[in-house]
Amino acid sequence: MAEPGAFAPQLLGLAIVVPLAAGAVSFALGRARAMAAALLGAAAAVALAAAVAWSVATGGAVALDIGSWVPPLGIRLAADGLSALFLVLAAIVGAAVSVDAALASRPGADVADRWLFWPLWLFLWSAVNGLFLTADVFNAYVCLELIGFSAVALVASKGSKAALDAALSYLFASVLGAMTYLVGVGLVYLASGTLALDALDSAVHGSASARIGLGLMLAGLVLKTALFPAHFWLPTAHSSAPPQVSAALSGVVVKSSYLLAVRLLVAATGAGSGPGLRLTLAALGAVAIVWGSAMALASQRLKLMIAYSTVAQVGYLFVMLPLLEERAATVGLAIALHALSHGMAKAAMFLAAGDIADAAGTDRFDALAGVGRERPVAALSLGLAGVTMLGLPPSGSFAAKWLVVQSSLASGQWWIAAVVVGGGLLAALYVFRALASLLAKPDRSEARTPKPRTAWAALPLAAVSATLLLAGPAISRLMAATSLAGR
């Protein structure tokens, strides 16, 4: 009789294999039954994420050596509190995206090949879970590429010229990032003889080739995460994809490469990822907040505005990094809170924007006057998600900003506090501008015929994000099983 918790390591493997298998089955079943199979797989993926989170919360970090091959030769999967929380983020956003896509796919939908969404979406989910869980830098490269392939195909799925252009530019940016990362992996292996994330620090200490390798790996991840100035591919890719795809990309995919970047920084604290590197990343993050917000404000289209807002919100995730070494626990919690609440809110915004564009026939602001009255649920979801973008209580991003401001003032890095607070004000401008145009008096009344679809999936997503502070104790408990302090 196995003791309770003995099965926990297997959950990590299942969290990757189950969505992958469900995607393959859904593809094999074909058009008629792809959705049913994919929805079953999605439900299983959600249950597995919850199970992993539960097991980490009750029994601490979990690890699985695949096939019992131990590192340095084998590949290890590991989940601490942060991985578990990111799995949960993928599960919550994934559930909403799946429900929204199921509601959107009705007989006679205009896109013939849309059923292919289901297998691709589950492949993406599987790859993202893989990146959250892997403790091997080469395995992470494979996950990055798998994420790239499925995401690119999903972006292209509309088949329009604009969508194909966006997909191509996304693909090449993604390949450039992944290849840069791979060269970095090669150099680090050359110096250290290991691919295990947790063995990097001692192995690469003091070696020039390892430092360059680490820099290249981070550069690749920065490109994948769309940190300014490597964000150029994101606005078109995220704004020209179908709404469910945009939601998954902005909500979860950019966070996956971010998580790996944080792991690398932490793993190699003693070997070249010192204060200088973190400060550089933070400075880029600060510029990203200002630039992304300004471009969001200047956007003439709702989805483009939301995509630029992601550029800004990614900036927050990097701007807090210099504080990580000194206050690992607090800043780790802030990272988790911000990634979770932004991921959910941003996914909700894209789903709601899809509904609004569906009602208005376009997402250009000048044609959106009054659409909020026709689509109150979508407008409400956008408003609630706006609470997170602004960082108002009781959203998770409020708590994250609070922790970051406190830590930055305590450690004398006041400029971080200034950027974080200022960024909230900029977010207020673009969020209110979008809401104002949606709730404005309509130009013409009764001109549009309402279509039978509502953004029901967006509303709970936005609501959870806006009240994430209520889940604070659970999140803190999970983060207690996480160490982001360098060795």
Could you list the residues that contact other proteins (CB under 8 A)? 72-73, 112-113, 138, 141-142, 145, 149, 152-153, 156, 159-162, 164-165, 167-168, 171-172, 175-176, 178-180, 182-183, 185-187, 189-190, 193, 195
- Residues near 199 by beta carbon (within 8 Å), at least 6 away in sequence: 71, 72, 192
Residue 232 C-beta: closest distance to other proteins, Å: 10
Instruction: Decide whether 175 or 328 has the Cβ nearer to other proteins.
Output: 175
Residue 138 C-beta: closest distance to other proteins, Å: 6
Please give the DSSP secondary-structure letter assigned to residue 450.
Answer: P
| Alpha-carbon gap, residue 352 to 376, rounded angstroms | 10
Assigned token pair, 472: 């604070």
Instruction: Decide whether 180 or 225 has the Cβ nearer to other proteins.
Output: 180
Assigned token pair, 219: 């550069």
Instruction: Decide whether 177 or 343 has the Cβ nearer to other proteins.
Output: 177
Residue 461 C-beta: closest distance to other proteins, Å: 29
Residue 330 C-beta: closest distance to other proteins, Å: 37
Q: What is the DSSP string of 288-314?
A: HHHHHHHHHHH-SBHHHHHHHHHHHHH
Residue 12 C-beta: closest distance to other proteins, Å: 20
Q: What is the DSSP string of 415-428?
A: HHHHHHHHHHHHHH
Instruction: Decide whether 183 or 377 has the Cβ nearer to other proteins.
Output: 183
Residue 195 C-beta: closest distance to other proteins, Å: 7
Assigned token pair, 268: 């190699």
Instruction: Decide whether 94 or 177 has the Cβ nearer to other proteins.
Output: 177
**Is-contact 200 192, C-beta < 8 A?**
yes
Q: Among residues 283, 258, 280, 316, which one has the least CA distance to residue 86?
A: 258
Assigned token pair, 378: 């979508």
| Alpha-carbon gap, residue 22 to 45, rounded angstroms | 10
Instruction: Decide whether 173 or 368 has the Cβ nearer to other proteins.
Output: 173
Residue 164 C-beta: closest distance to other proteins, Å: 4
Distance of CA 399 to the CA centre of its chain: 19
Instruction: Decide whether 35 or 195 has the Cβ nearer to other proteins.
Output: 195
Assigned token pair, 362: 């376009």
- Residues near 242 by beta carbon (within 8 Å), at least 6 away in sequence: 117, 154, 157, 158, 354
